[in-house]
Amino acid sequence: MKYTEEHEWLDDQDGIVTVGITAHAAEQLGDIVFVELPEPGFEVTKDDEIAVIESVKAASEILAPMDGEIVEVNGAIVDEPGQVNDDPEGAAWFFKMKPADAADMDEMMDEATYKAFIA
């Protein structure tokens, strides 16, 4: 898995990258009450705002971690946003995307670097 400075995790499985928020981000946000996700087929550019999360503490945007196309979204977290607090780095992923350039993952932080970043 790779991580961004915006507290997103990315997991590449055969060229399709699953994206979610880290446990650290979910903890900082508090109880999540609303999630809005992009539509499959949506073309994104790195750093575009593509999803919204609202918690009892704050609203936050999810930025596109790289250029590519959204190929699937996790409707379960739209229906039950609290799942993001329960399993942010597992079942509560946000979307899957096909990156325009898979090498973009090489620029992301590994787990040890991310842990040092949030320390």
pLDDT tens-digit profile of 53-94?
A: 999 988 999 999 999 999 999 999 999 999 999 999 999 999
Q: Please report whether residue 37 resides in a domain.
A: yes
Which whole number is the average pLDDT over 98-118?
Answer: 95
Q: Please report whether residue 61 resides in a domain.
A: yes
pLDDT at 20: 97
Give the DSSP letter of residue 29: H
pLDDT at 3: 98
Q: Is 21 exposed, middle or buried (0-12, 13-18, 19+ CB in 10 A)?
A: buried
pTM here is 0.94
Q: Please report whether residue 109 resides in a domain.
A: no
Domain count across the chain: 1
CATH number of the domain encompassing residue 45: 2.40.50.100
Tokens of 59: 């609203």
